[in-house]
């Protein structure tokens, strides 16, 4: 409609004022909710042609459109703004096009699809996934679906941080205190077991540092000279030189973690097309660093460490190889980026990583470009905010992390309690109930996290997330199942729901408001893909569900005596359910058929 209106306004200016007007001078936007109208023309840029007041210019153009364009049924002018009302007949014809769409994503397709890598999860193999990882995974997976829905070729990637000083901490603690404990002997998930030893390392290390400080040693020196830290560094060096015993221990403990991760990913409903491992890509990174050193792009310090001077880029000096030759995290990221570009020749590589790593990705891009990889302009850091609980921030070293598995279990138990209280599942089998509890619990978790602007910090409140009446996943799921229930009842009444015809000549204001909201779906998805914000789709689904529930409350559907009106309301309900389903699918949220 905006495109057609723009052409009609150009026609009006040409006929009324005998002037050609450029597209950029015709500014059309949706009318604000506190004014009557559907689309608003900003009149001020056209005063150069009318040589008149904003009010008179708006009146003249508005009258021309009403007289010469049947879609415009009325107008009003508020100062320099012409508010145009679109006829119900036009909205009904537009709705017929929406109803005929196969996927409701057809109008979101981009004209020039790109190859885009989306990296998310990026776990360390020294601890289980936690609440922060949940936000990361849900954002990354939803971003993949949104971009794919818009026609891009999207590859879901994960980089597993399976080497380094933090991994050796868990390994050393298990060596010292584990007594051969395994997931089988302990009954613990492998990632939880390894995480237990990471916490145990930090506890004993902290005690050693405190004793050294009490003996008069400087805090920084105490941290570096503590026995456990020295042994950890020695273990890392042995690992990098291929010590068989250390590598064997590393493989065993990592294998435990991978089994645990896979179980959690399955519960979250996320997956990956390609998984990279730091233990592989750091080698590529080291080769890149050494080659750049040879070409004098980097420099070696007196202690034999290798650095990059990025001060000309407004950054800092960056360590790439320690004095003992071991690689740092940045070295691995260099190697991973180069490996990915060689394999996929991507247009964009989106890193879904928390905002505490903003500087890291500025350095990564600057380093790659300094070394000669100009495709680094396609690296995008999707910087999201931290997630906390009402009690405050989590700390993995102190073991106060909210474990992903525990949270998922808690959400499903809460979903069960709330559902049973409502008392609507009495005729369901136990298997059906379990599936519904799972979908409601995970829907509550995912929606609560994804409805927040990803760039903002957020507090996750489990109790609020599962409310069936607020801006929550269960409310939207319930709206969807309500519509499904209407169609089950229709079939029971003998109505052929597969062949419903309507003309739409007897629509009311409430139906038209729903159509206007349905129209916004494709532009919402496109905006979410452009801004990397699943929150736009989440909140759209809530707005649509709320609008439909008001319609459902105010008007009868199957009880409507006039068949033409009943059929129109049924098709309107059907399309609403399809768009809600599609929007929630883009968020990675499953929809139950009954609740």
Specify the pLDDT at position 465.
Answer: 87
Going along 273-334, which residue ranges are E strands?
274-277, 299-300, 306-309, 317-321
Specify the pLDDT at position 469.
Answer: 84
Q: Please, which pLDDT band fits residue 286 given cuts at 50, 70 and 90?
A: very high
Question: What mean pLDDT comes out for the span 7-17?
Answer: 95
| Average predicted confidence (pLDDT) for the chain | 93
Q: Please, which pLDDT band fits residue 102 given cuts at 50, 70 and 90?
A: confident
Specify the pLDDT at position 397.
Answer: 44
Residue 16 CB: number of other CB atoms within 10 A?
A: 16
Q: Rounded to an integer, what distance in angstroms lies between the CA atom of residue 550 and that of residue 517?
A: 13
Q: Rounded to an integer, what distance in angstroms lies between the CA atom of residue 436 and that of residue 426?
A: 13
**pLDDT per residue over 115-160, tens digit each?**
999 999 999 999 999 999 999 999 999 999 999 999 999 999 999 9
Q: What are phi and psi of 334, to 5 degrees?
A: -60, -50
Report how far apart, in Å, the C-alpha atoms of 204 and of each of 175, 329, 352 are.
14, 25, 33
**pLDDT per residue over 35-76, tens digit each?**
999 999 999 999 999 999 999 999 999 999 999 999 999 999
Question: What mean pLDDT comes out for the span 479-501?
Answer: 90
Residue in the block written with tokens 């768009």: 579
Q: By percentage, how much of the chain surpasses pLDDT 70?
A: 98
CATH number of the domain at 405-586, please?
A: 1.10.730.10
What token pair was written down for 595? 């609740």
Q: Rounded to an integer, what distance in angstroms lies between the CA atom of residue 95 and that of residue 117?
A: 35
Specify the pLDDT at position 392.
Answer: 52
Nearest alpha carbon to residue 499 among 509, 487, 508? 487
Q: What are phi and psi of 419, to 5 degrees?
A: -65, -40
Q: Rounded to an integer, what distance in angstroms lies between the CA atom of residue 1 and that of residue 71?
A: 9
Specify the pLDDT at position 261.
Answer: 97
What token pair was written down for 309? 């001077």
Contact of 540 with 583, CB cutoff 8 Å: yes
Pick the more confident residue, 420 or 270: 270
* pLDDT(422) > 80: no
Specify the pLDDT at position 61.
Answer: 96
Question: What mean pLDDT comes out for the span 233-237?
Answer: 94
Question: What mean pLDDT comes out for the span 447-468?
Answer: 90
Report how far apart, in Å, the C-alpha atoms of 89 and of each of 73, 92, 150, 239, 551 are.
10, 5, 30, 73, 19
Q: Rounded to an integer, what distance in angstroms lies between the CA atom of residue 89 and that of residue 557?
A: 21
> If DSSP codes are grouped into helix, strand and coil, which group holds residue 372?
coil
CATH number of the domain at 2-86, please?
A: 3.30.1360.70
* pLDDT(534) > 60: yes
Contact of 173 with 201, CB cutoff 8 Å: yes
Q: What single-letter DSSP state applies at residue 499? A: S
Q: Rounded to an integer, what distance in angstroms lies between the CA atom of residue 351 and that of residue 353?
A: 6
Q: By percentage, how much of the chain surpasses pLDDT 90?
A: 85
CATH fold of 120-388 reads: Rossmann fold (3.40.50)
Provide the CA 61 distance to its chain's centre, in angstroms: 43
The ranges assigned to domains in the chain are 2-86, 120-388, 405-586
Which residues, including other chains, have CB under 8 Å from residue 197's CB and lie 6 or more apart?
A: 170, 171, 173, 174, 177, 178
Nearest alpha carbon to residue 509 among 521, 501, 520, 517? 517
Question: Left, alpha or beta for 250 (phi > 0: left; psi -120 to 50: alpha)?
Answer: alpha
What token pair was written down for 169? 């901490």
What token pair was written down for 248? 């064997």
* pLDDT(107) > 60: yes
Which residues, including other chains, have CB under 8 Å from residue 336's CB and lie 6 or more apart?
A: 159, 276, 278, 281, 284, 285
Contact of 587 with 534, CB cutoff 8 Å: yes
Contact of 9 with 20, CB cutoff 8 Å: no
Contact of 458 with 387, CB cutoff 8 Å: yes
* pLDDT(421) > 90: no
Question: What mean pLDDT comes out for the span 290-303?
Answer: 96
Question: Left, alpha or beta for 399 (phi > 0: left; psi -120 to 50: alpha)?
Answer: left
Query: 317: which strand partners?
Result: 309
Q: Rounded to an integer, what distance in angstroms lies between the CA atom of residue 348 and that of residue 362?
A: 15
Q: Which helix (H) or strand (E) segment is 217 a member of?
A: none
Query: Strands 299-300, 317-321: parallel, antiparallel or unpaired by DSSP?
Result: unpaired
Specify the pLDDT at position 391.
Answer: 66
Specify the pLDDT at position 176.
Answer: 96
Span of 93-107, 321-335, 419-433, 538-552 with lowest mean pLDDT? 419-433
Specify the pLDDT at position 295.
Answer: 96
Q: Rounded to an integer, what distance in angstroms lies between the CA atom of residue 106 and that of residue 585?
A: 15
Q: Please, which pLDDT band fits residue 33 given cuts at 50, 70 and 90?
A: confident
Which residues, including other chains, have CB under 8 Å from residue 511's CB and lie 6 or more apart?
A: 551, 568, 569, 572
**pLDDT per residue over 357-402, tens digit each?**
999 999 999 999 999 999 999 999 999 999 887 765 444 444 456 8
**pLDDT per residue over 218-234, tens digit each?**
999 999 999 999 999 99
Q: What are phi and psi of 41, to 5 degrees?
A: -100, 125
Which residues, including other chains, have CB under 8 Å from residue 132's CB and lie 6 or more apart?
A: 354, 386, 387, 394
Q: Which helix (H) or strand (E) segment is 316 a member of?
A: none
Query: 159: which strand partners?
Result: 276
Specify the pLDDT at position 380.
Answer: 98
Question: What mean pLDDT comes out for the span 92-119?
Answer: 94
Q: Please, which pLDDT band fits residue 9 given cuts at 50, 70 and 90?
A: very high
CA quadruple 357, 359, 362, 365: dihedral positive or negative? Answer: negative
Which residues, including other chains, have CB under 8 Å from residue 102's CB and lie 6 or more apart?
A: none
């Amino acid at each position: 409609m905006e495109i057609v209106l723009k052409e009609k306004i150009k026609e009006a200016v040409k006929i009324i004022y005998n002037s050609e007007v450029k597209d950029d001078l015709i500014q059309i936007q949706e009318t604000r909710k506190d004014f009557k109208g559907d689309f608003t023309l900003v009149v001020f840029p056209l005063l150069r042609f009318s040589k008149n007041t904003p009010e008179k210019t708006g009146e003249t153009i508005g009258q021309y459109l009403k007289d010469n364009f049947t879609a415009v049924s009325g107008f009003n002018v508020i100062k320099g703004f012409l508010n145009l009302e679109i006829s119900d007949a036009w909205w009904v014809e537009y709705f017929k096009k929406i109803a005929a769409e196969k996927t409701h994503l057809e109008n979101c397709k981009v004209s020039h699809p790109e190859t885009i890598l989306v990296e998310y999860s990026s776990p360390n193999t020294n601890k289980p996934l936690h609440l922060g990882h949940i936000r990361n995974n849900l954002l990354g997976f939803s971003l993949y679906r949104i971009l794919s829905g818009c026609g891009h070729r999207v590859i879901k990637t994960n980089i597993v941080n399976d080497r380094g000083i933090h991994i050796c901490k868990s390994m050393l603690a298990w060596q010292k205190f584990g007594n051969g404990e395994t997931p089988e002997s302990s009954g613990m998930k492998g990632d939880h077991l390894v995480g237990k030893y990471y916490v145990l390392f930090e506890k004993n290390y902290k005690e050693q540092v405190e004793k050294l400080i009490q003996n008069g040693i400087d805090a920084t020196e105490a941290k570096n000279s503590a026995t456990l830290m020295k042994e950890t560094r020695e273990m890392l060096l042995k690992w990098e030189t291929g010590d068989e015993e250390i590598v064997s221990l590393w493989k065993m403990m990592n294998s435990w973690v991978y089994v645990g991760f896979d179980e959690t990913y399955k519960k979250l409903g996320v997956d990956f097309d390609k998984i990279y491992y730091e233990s592989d890509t750091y080698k590529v990174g080291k080769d890149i660093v050494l080659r750049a050193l040879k070409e004098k792009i980097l420099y070696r310090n007196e202690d034999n460490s290798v650095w990059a001077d990025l001060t000309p880029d407004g950054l800092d000096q960056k360590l790439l190889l320690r004095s003992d030759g071991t690689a740092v995290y940045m070295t691995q990221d260099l190697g991973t980026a180069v490996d990915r570009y060689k394999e996929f020749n991507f247009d964009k590589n989106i890193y879904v990583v928390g905002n505490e790593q903003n500087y890291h990705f500025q350095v990564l891009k600057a380093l790659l470009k300094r070394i000669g990889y100009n495709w680094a302009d396609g690296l995008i850091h999707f910087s999201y905010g931290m997630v906390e609980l009402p009690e405050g921030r989590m700390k993995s070293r102190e073991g106060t992390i909210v474990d992903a598995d525990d949270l998922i279990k808690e959400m499903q138990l809460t979903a069960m309690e709330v559902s049973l209280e409502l008392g609507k599942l009495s005729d369901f089998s136990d298997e059906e109930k379990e599936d519904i509890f799972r979908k409601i619990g995970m829907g509550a978790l995912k929606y609560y996290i994804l409805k927040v602007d990803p760039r903002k910090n957020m507090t996750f409140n489990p109790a609020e997330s599962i409310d069936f009446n607020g801006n929550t996943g269960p409310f939207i799921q319930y709206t969807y199942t309500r519509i499904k229930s209407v169609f089950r009842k229709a079939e029971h009444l003998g109505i052929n729901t597969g062949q419903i015809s309507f003309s739409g000549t007897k629509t009311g204001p409430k139906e038209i408001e729903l159509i206007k909201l349905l129209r916004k779906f494709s532009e919402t998805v496109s905006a979410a893909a452009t801004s990397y914000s699943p929150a736009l789709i989440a909140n759209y689904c809530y707005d649509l569900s709320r609008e439909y529930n008001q319609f459902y409350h105010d008007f009868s559907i199957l009880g409507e005596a006039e068949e033409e009106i009943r059929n129109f309301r049924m098709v309107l309900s059907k399309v609403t359910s399809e768009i809600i389903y599609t929007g929630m699918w883009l968020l990675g949220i499953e929809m139950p058929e009954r609740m």
